[in-house]
Amino acid sequence: GDSVTQMEGPVTLSEEACLTINCTYTATGYPSLFWYVQYPGEGLQLLLKATKADDKGSNKGFEATYRKETTSFHLEKGSVQVSDSAVYFCALSDRTGANSKLTFGKGITLSVRP
């Protein structure tokens, strides 16, 4: 079945440091890939997405590129801020008819210190 593997956390960075969070996936079809973010006390929010190979999703300074050859969708940001502290989830949707469920990784907690 479909699965998503994220690097182990938590991750603690200083403000303005570079961020990379690794994500790899296993899917039978041609999935769409997503990064969701969960800020403290809030629900999940879509951060960015990519729907086909070589697509780059970007939002709020974050980027991720859909790499079919390595089945990866790593999240990157050049300069993190304290406000980026949250839990980040990589996810995929492998559409089968009307079934469009999301399959999530375990999530990783990012803490950014001033």
Partner 1 sequence: EAEVAQSPRYKITEKSQAVAFWCDPISGHATLYWYRQILGQGPELLVQFQDESVVDDSQLPKDRFSAERLKGVDSTLKIQPAELGDSAMYLCASSLEAGVLSSYNEQFFGPGTRLTVL
Comparison of 43 and 114: residue with beta carbon closer to partner 1: 43
Phi (first) and psi of residue 84, to 5 degrees = -85, -5
Near partner 1 in 75-104, by CB under 8 A: 89, 91, 93, 95, 97-102, 104
Comparison of 106 and 113: residue with beta carbon closer to partner 1: 106
Binding mask 39-78 for partner 1 (x = CB under 8 A): ---xxxxx--x-x---------------------------
Minimum distance of partner 1 from residue 51's CB (angstroms):
6
Q: Note whether 114 and 85 are within 8 A (CB).
A: no
Minimum distance of partner 1 from residue 102's CB (angstroms):
6
Comparison of 17 and 71: residue with beta carbon closer to partner 1: 71
- CB proximity list for 98: less than 8 A, separation 6 or greater: none
Q: Look at residues 94, 106, 90 and name the one whose alpha carbon lies nearest to residue 23.
A: 90
Torsion, Cα of 30, 69, 33, 19 (10° steps): 180
